Amino acid sequence: MKNGTMIQYFHWYTPGDGSWWNTVKQEAPRLAGMGINAVWLPPAFKGAGGADSRGYDVYDLYDLGEFDQKGAVRTRYGTRQEYIDAIKSIHDAGMQVYVDIVVNHLMGGDETEKITVRKVDPEDRNKFISGPIEAEAYTRFTFPGRKGTYSAFIWDHQCFTGIDHITGMGEEEAIYSIQNEYGELWEDVVDEEKGNFDFLMGADIEFRNPAVREELKRWGEWYYNTVEFDGLRLDAVKHITPDFFREWLDHMREITGKGLFAVGEYWAADDVELAKKYLGAIEGRMSLFDASLHHNFFDASRAGKDYDLTNIFNGSLVLENPALAVTLVGNHDTQPLQALDAPVEDWFKPIAYALILLREHGYPCVFHPDLYGAAYTDKNENGEDTTIELKPVEGLDKLLAARDQYAYGHQRDYFDHPNCIGWTREGDEEHSGCAVVLSNSDEEEKHMEIGERYAGKRFKDISGKREEEVVIDKEGWGNFRCAAGSVSVWAPVE
């Protein structure tokens, strides 16, 4: 069985000229040739920001770049037909498509309603800091540009638990709990940060409303029938009651007749127990991104030789629940100038990618700029224009090839030195194995066993860092080296 590798084929600053779906279409064969088996695409529906929207400010789930809404027909990434064509190209290349699902909130309402709200303490959302307020808010979504095509469902204040903007008040920006027939308290979520972390932004969706649940089921079925995706990336799951996703994922898998891979974004970088708690609540229906491992990579890259590499997996989801861990080195939220800004430093990225691509456990996700590079300008925390250049990760193509061709079979770990660790993969009936050694300090050597089947075989460093060859002794052992602050991957000479 081939190793699985997904790619997040976008970042926060992906070009907004409507060309992205065509770029995906053109690049699909190349990605497949590199060993990628699944492509995670950005949110495809119309956002409140129209053609400038990244899709996370979701306005109309049914508008994939087809209707004149929010000032444009296309989305940031292109038109509905270009999206469908891009997905076909991915499928034709033998890869799967994972779509980005954003159902925590809506933004950009079409009409105001008179509603009753109470302001809550932003640091303790269970605490009211005002009495009932009669106000108006944009909680009615009629989608006039779509005119009922695909769905006639109208969203109103009964469909939302809270909102962050009301009109006609002296203090407009705050967090308001909406009084509706389902109460004025938040839904039960796993995360108790800020008292209750149900509310994130915009008009927060009320999943206790059965009409909302049924509409999202209908939408999910329509979406699948439109583009025939293979998996789901679920946004902001820490802010959504697990009850909804248990029901919705079961429905989607039943109506499609597919297993439908699903991975949730539950960003708890310093507390893997929260991720484990959520996985328990969702009863194993989805994987989660390994935020804790990413944070370990971030720390290790900044600490240099002072970081003990034998602890690199401590507190990670891939250590605690390897079957449900999607491992990553970066994403659109952790890239510079973004909300969770915590970029792994360049020198450590090849090491980090070796740790997720060439080991037995975890489903690795490659970040688009790490393969292609990126350059952009945005405001920093002081409001100043800052230009960022992200370079492609050195040797990432070789690490992907090594995962595709060599990283199989029994794994032996040599995590016995704070600055130099390694492991071997023995291979299987269809693939030769490999040996991996890495250092965050000086040039190092690691004596490791790869198996008697390789006795007398010569190994070379396919990452191109070492020129010498290693000959495996009669008992299946070899001395494998790596350069300072680097990683080497050793595979049999063909």
Q: Name the DSSP class of 249.
A: H
| Domain ranges across the chain | 6-103+210-402, 409-492
| DSSP string across 326-371 | EEES--TTTSTTSTT--PPPGGGHHHHHHHHHSSSSSEEEEEHHHH
C-alpha 400: how far from chain center: 19
How many angstroms separate the Cα of 210 from the Cα of each of 148, 222, 263? 20, 18, 24
Q: Are 38 and 95 in contact (CB under 8 A)?
A: yes
Per the structure block, which two tokens stand in for 465? Answer: 């860092």
Q: Is 209 annotated as a binding residue?
A: no
Q: pTM of the entire structure?
A: 0.96
Q: Is 299 annotated as a binding residue?
A: no
66 is catalytic: no
Q: What is 409-492's CATH topology?
A: Immunoglobulin-like (2.60.40)
Per the structure block, which two tokens stand in for 451? Answer: 């198996």
Strand bridging mode 133-140 / 231-234: unpaired
Instruction: Provide the pLDDT for residue 9.
Output: 98
Report how far residue 136's alpha carbon sits from residue 125's, in angstroms, rounded to the nearest whole number. 21
Question: CATH assignment of 6-103+210-402, given 3.40.50.2300, 2.40.110.10, 3.30.420.40, 3.20.20.80?
Answer: 3.20.20.80
How many angstroms separate the Cα of 276 from the Cα of each of 234, 269, 314, 346? 17, 12, 14, 30
Q: Are 464 and 494 in contact (CB under 8 A)?
A: no
Report how far residue 349's alpha carbon sits from residue 365's, in angstroms, rounded to the nearest whole number. 13
Report how far residue 63's alpha carbon sits from residue 43's, in angstroms, rounded to the nearest whole number. 11
Backbone φ, ψ for residue 377 (5° rounding): -125, 135
Low-confidence ranges of the chain (pLDDT < 70): 169-172
| DSSP string across 379-395 | E-TTS-EEEEEEPPPTT
How many angstroms separate the Cα of 122 from the Cα of each of 156, 196, 238, 259, 326? 24, 10, 17, 39, 31
Q: Is 198 annotated as a binding residue?
A: yes
Cα 437-443-447 angle, rounded to 5 deg = 45
Q: Is residue 158 helix, strand or coil? A: helix
Residue among 27, 60, 63, 265 flagged as catalytic:
265
Helix spans in 174-231 (H):
210-227
Buried-state track 74-113, b at ≥16 Cβ within 10 A, e below 16: bbbbbbbebbbbbbebbbebebbbbbbbbbbbbbbbbebe
Q: Which residues contact 340 (CB under 8 A, 6 or more apart)?
A: 267, 269, 333, 334
Q: Which of 83, 28, 403, 76 is nearest to 9 (CA)?
A: 28
Q: Are 400 and 41 in contact (CB under 8 A)?
A: no
Q: Is residue 286 helix, strand or coil? A: coil
Instruction: Provide the pLDDT for residue 169.
Output: 65
Instruction: Provide the pLDDT for residue 268.
Output: 85
Q: Which residues pair with 177 in a beta bridge?
A: 118, 162
Backbone φ, ψ for residue 67 (5° rounding): -120, 150
Q: Is residue 265 helix, strand or coil? A: coil
320 is catalytic: no
Report how far residue 216's alpha carbon sits from residue 61's, in angstroms, rounded to the nearest whole number. 9
Q: Is 473 annotated as a binding residue?
A: no
Report how far residue 163's alpha carbon sits from residue 107's, in angstroms, rounded to the nearest whole number. 10
Residue among 235, 404, 426, 444 flagged as catalytic:
235
